[in-house]
């Protein structure tokens, strides 16, 4: 997740995911979860076609782009797109907006500062940070987030995208080893349900995320703006879905044509408005290389 402009974009106002805070299926624990020993048998995303990123509003066709959508990312609270390879967005390391109340009985799973106050993401101040630093916490977090991943499979999604893998780098009080153990548990959970799973951002982790944790492909925001596209394509090849935003490109002194000209850019790169609004809404932007 990249720092947003102010005010907070409404992409996070998409239908809230019901986390199912009751105890989930027994026996599923994140403690000491090893990387998968076999490659996923779930279908990988196509490496050509039309890609769209729809977290702020869903629609089934693209205006002025021949209509068809072949690959799409949607929030876990939305339905997959019939006929497309559909990827389910899950916030795996932070809470979703408007769900703080759901976590009040689980504050021991959230990161606290030295004064004992809950830590919030300074760029997304309605999101608390999950703390996977111990095996017990990881197990309890998986009891909450695991059913969301299961729900993606039950709804008919083909894959899942786990956001905020980089929280241990952004919040030093989080144990990085614990965060990676939790990531491995998410990979195992997705594969067990027949889903492929995408690494989201965290360019510096790409090699280990793929080779050790078992992520199947990558979704990256602003890799051209941050000059890190090659971190993903060198590991995942053409299995990289890239989104650029106008404001980030402008801040880097680039436009979308420059992003498309990056030699190591992912084959499937699109330009979207930062709010990710639905086609037809004010501010909607979409373009492809």
Sign (positive/negative) of CA torsion 258, 259, 260, 265? positive
Least Cα distance to 175 among 116, 273, 252, 93 occurs for: 93
- The mean pLDDT value for 35-50 works out to 74
The set of long-range contacts for 250-256, using a CB threshold of 8 Å and a minimum separation of 24, is 251/225, 252/224, 252/225, 252/226, 252/227, 254/224, 254/225, 256/287, 256/289
Confidence grade of residue 39 (pLDDT, cut at 50, 70, 90): low
pLDDT by residue (tens digit) across 210-219?
999 999 999 9
Residue 130: partners with Cβ closer than 8 Å, 6 or more residues away = 92, 93, 94, 95, 109, 110, 111, 141, 167, 182
pLDDT, averaged across the chain: 86
Phi, psi of 142, deg, nearest 5: -65, -30
Question: What's the pLDDT score for residue 134?
Answer: 95
Given its phi and psi angles, is residue 20 left (phi above 0), alpha (psi -120 to 50 degrees) or beta?
Answer: left
CB 186 within 8 A of CB 140: no
Residues 14, 93: Cα–Cα separation, whole Å: 18
CB-based burial label for 285 (10 Å; 0-12, 13-18, 19+): middle
Question: What's the pLDDT score for residue 148?
Answer: 96
Confidence grade of residue 127 (pLDDT, cut at 50, 70, 90): confident
pTM for the full predicted model: 0.86
pLDDT by residue (tens digit) across 70-88?
999 999 999 999 999 999 9
Q: Where are the domains of the chain?
A: 10-16+47-288
Question: What's the pLDDT score for residue 284?
Answer: 96
pLDDT by residue (tens digit) across 227-243?
999 999 999 999 999 99
Residue 152 has pLDDT above 60, yes or no: yes
Q: Which fold has domain 10-16+47-288?
A: TIM Barrel (3.20.20)
- Among 12-26, 33-47, 238-252, the least confident range: 12-26
pLDDT by residue (tens digit) across 5-17?
333 333 333 333 3
- The mean pLDDT value for 138-156 works out to 97
Residue 224 has pLDDT above 50, yes or no: yes
Residues in the chain: 289
Residues 167, 1: Cα–Cα separation, whole Å: 10
CB 142 within 8 A of CB 106: no
């Amino acid at each position: 997740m990249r720092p947003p402009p102010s005010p907070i974009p409404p992409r996070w106002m998409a239908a809230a995911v019901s986390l199912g805070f009751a105890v989930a299926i027994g026996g599923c624990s994140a403690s000491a979860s090893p990387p998968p020993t076999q490659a996923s048998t779930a279908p990988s995303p196509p490496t050509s076609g039309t890609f769209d990123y729809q977290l702020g509003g869903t629609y089934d066709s693209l205006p002025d782009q021949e209509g068809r959508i072949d690959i799409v990312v949607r929030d876990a609270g939305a339905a997959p797109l019939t006929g497309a390879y559909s990827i389910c967005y899950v916030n795996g390391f932070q809470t979703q907006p408007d769900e703080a109340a759901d976590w009040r009985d689980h504050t021991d799973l959230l990161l606290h500062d030295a004064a004992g106050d809950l830590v919030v993401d300074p760029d997304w101040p309605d999101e608390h940070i999950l703390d996977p630093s111990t095996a017990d916490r990881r197990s309890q977090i998986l009891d909450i987030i695991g059913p969301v991943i299961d729900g993606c499979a039950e709804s008919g999604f083909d894959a899942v995208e786990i956001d905020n893998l980089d929280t241990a780098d952004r919040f030093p009080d989080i144990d990085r080893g614990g965060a990676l153990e939790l990531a491995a548990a998410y990979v195992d959970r997705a594969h067990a349900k027949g889903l492929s799973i995408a690494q989201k951002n965290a360019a510096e982790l790409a090699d280990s995320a793929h080779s050790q944790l078992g992520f199947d492909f990558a979704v990256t925001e602003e890799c051209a703006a941050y000059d890190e596209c090659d971190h993903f394509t060198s590991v995942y090849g053409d299995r990289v879905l890239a989104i650029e935003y106008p404001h980030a490109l402008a801040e880097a002194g680039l436009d979308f044509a420059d992003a498309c000209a990056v030699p190591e850019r992912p084959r499937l790169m699109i330009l979207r408005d930062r709010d990710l609004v639905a086609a037809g809404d004010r501010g909607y932007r979409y373009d492809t290389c």
